[in-house]
Structures are given as C-alpha cells and as structure tokens.
Copies of this chain bind each other. A is one copy, B any other.
Amino acid sequence: MSKPIYELMCGDCLSELRSEFGAGEVDLIVTSPPYADNRKSTYPGIKPEEYVEWFLHRADQFYRVLNKRGTFILNIKERVQHGERGTYVMELVQRLRNRGWFFTEEWIWHKTNSFPGKWPNRFRDAWEHIYQFNKSKDFSMFQDSVKVPIGDWAKTRMKKLSATDRVRDESKVESGFGKRVANWEGRKMVYPDNVLYFATVCENTGHSAAFPEELPAFFIKLFTRKGDTVLDPFMGSGTTVAAALKLERRAVGIDTERKYITSTRNRLKTEGLI
C-alpha cells in the first residue's frame, strides 16, 4: 500500500522525526523556524543564546531523514537587539557546516512589502536569509521548472506572477488565472537569479509568520519532482504543505501547537487539496 499523500504531525520535530521516519525518506525540507526572540504571545520563542544548540539537534534529524540528493532550505532572519543586528544566524550556519551539511548557497528573499516604520538609526528591514544546504555537491535540481519571463523594469512583478500562476495552474483548484498566465506566455523565458521577490502575506492566516506560498513553491519546483516528499518541520500555518500538495508532491508537516495542525487541515480542505 502506498504512503499517504500528506501527514500532519503534532509534536516536536526532534522526537517525531526520530520515531516516525527512516533515513533518506525525505526529498526536500523547506522551513521557516521560529526566530530567536521572546515573543511568547504567538509562538514559543527560543532565546538567542540557546537558539543554536536548540536548532542543531533538530538539524541532525533533518540530515538523517533527508535523501542523499535532497535539499534543506532554511528561511530565517536576525532581529535587532539593543540597536544591533544579531549574529546567531551566522554562528548557526557555520555550526551546521561543521556538522556535515554542505553549504551550497545563500538566497535572498526581498520582501517587497516590508513592515513600515521610521527610526533615527535604521531603515525598514526588507529581506530575509534563505540558506540552501545539501548532503553533497551532487543534488537534484530542475532549473527549467522555475524559469521566468525575461527581465525588464517590471521584472519583479512578473517573477511573482509567474510563481503564483504556475502553482495555481498546476493545482487542482481552478481560480481563473488563465488570463494572467497568458500575459507572459510566449515571452522569452530565462533562469532566475539568487534574489527572490515575494510580498509577505497580509491576510489573516491565524499565524503570525506570513510566509507567501510562492516561496516554498519555488523551491519545491526547483528541487523535487511530482511524487517526491516535502517536509516542513516547523509547519505553522501550513503554507509549505499546501504548496507541496498543489504541486502534486507528498507533504509532511510537523508543529508543536495543536491549533496549527487543526487550522492547516481546515485550510487544506478549504482549498480543495484533501
């Protein structure tokens, strides 16, 4: 009997992966973990000084369950503390590398609608890190699946549209996006670069972390094929899971909070994915 198309697991990914997954079962991990701060009101924050160790233990499990040719995509950003930008992410990346991860690339996610505000000593923060780790130099990559219309001065807009439309187009949900697709069909298509443009999600998802579906969709298309398994060990509102199902990949989402399991299941039903 074949594996289920999706699984939503409630618990700490450290123990869930250890007990429920064998080695090499996952083809792609895409996640945006809780950041190191103390915003306990929305999500159990981990203090910066404890963050690296906390994360490394879980990353060891990611490594174990990841396929030899698989990819681990980590979206994260340092917060400002006492006027300084934190450096724990830099420490984390080096530690991951020392533990055996192959540090292939750092992508930049430019958030075109970053949070507004004005301060005497800094401008608005409009970007986040996206680190790409592998198990070796030889990993699966399907570059043709993420081509974008050739750049002009509307490049950013088109890039976003292309990601959105392709997801919807390939999904089971018909949303009347055919016309927009036509806008860039027939245009010359080129490979993107390592700077991605996506707006954050403003609508109320029931989760504080607005993670646009285009973002996981981009990496799912780039690093997996239909039927492959995609894991988000810090699922949150379930955006990665939804994107994976729309693209006909198997999806596994893990979260410590029961409410996110419930809301994600509702979301998948609403979108007609399950």
Contact = CB atoms under 8 A, between A and B. Distances in A.
Given A90-B91, A114-B193, A122-B194, 17 more contacts: A84-B102, A85-B105, A85-B106, A87-B94, A90-B93, A104-B122, A105-B122, A108-B108, A108-B195, A110-B195, A123-B191, A123-B192, A123-B193, A124-B191, A125-B194, A127-B194, A156-B156
Q: What bracket does the count of chain A residues touching chain B fall in? A: 35 or more
A193 B90 contact: no
Interface stretch (A8-16, A17-25, A137-145, A254-262): A137-145
A155 B141 CA distance: 32
A176 interface: no
Contact of A108 (B94, B110, B120): B110
Interface string A71-113: 0000000000011110100110110010000111110101000
A117 to B, nearest CB: 9
A118 interface: yes
Interface of A: 82-85, 87, 90-91, 93-94, 97, 102-106, 108, 110, 114, 118, 120-127, 137, 139, 141, 143, 153-157, 191-195
A104 B121 contact: yes
A108 B106 CA distance: 12
Contacts of A97: 84, 87
When all copies of this chain in the complex are counted, the total is: 2
A114 B123 CA distance: 25
A82 B126 contact: no
Nearest to A110: B195
Contacts of A120: 141, 143
B84 A94 contact: no
Contacts of A90: 87, 90-91, 93-94
A104 B122 CA distance: 8
Contacts of A118: 143, 191
Contacts of A195: 108, 110, 126-127
A87 B103 contact: yes
Contact of A83 (B110, B121, B124, B137): B137
Contacts of A139: 121
Given A123-B193, A194-B122, A85 B104 contact: yes
Contacts of A104: 83-85, 121-122
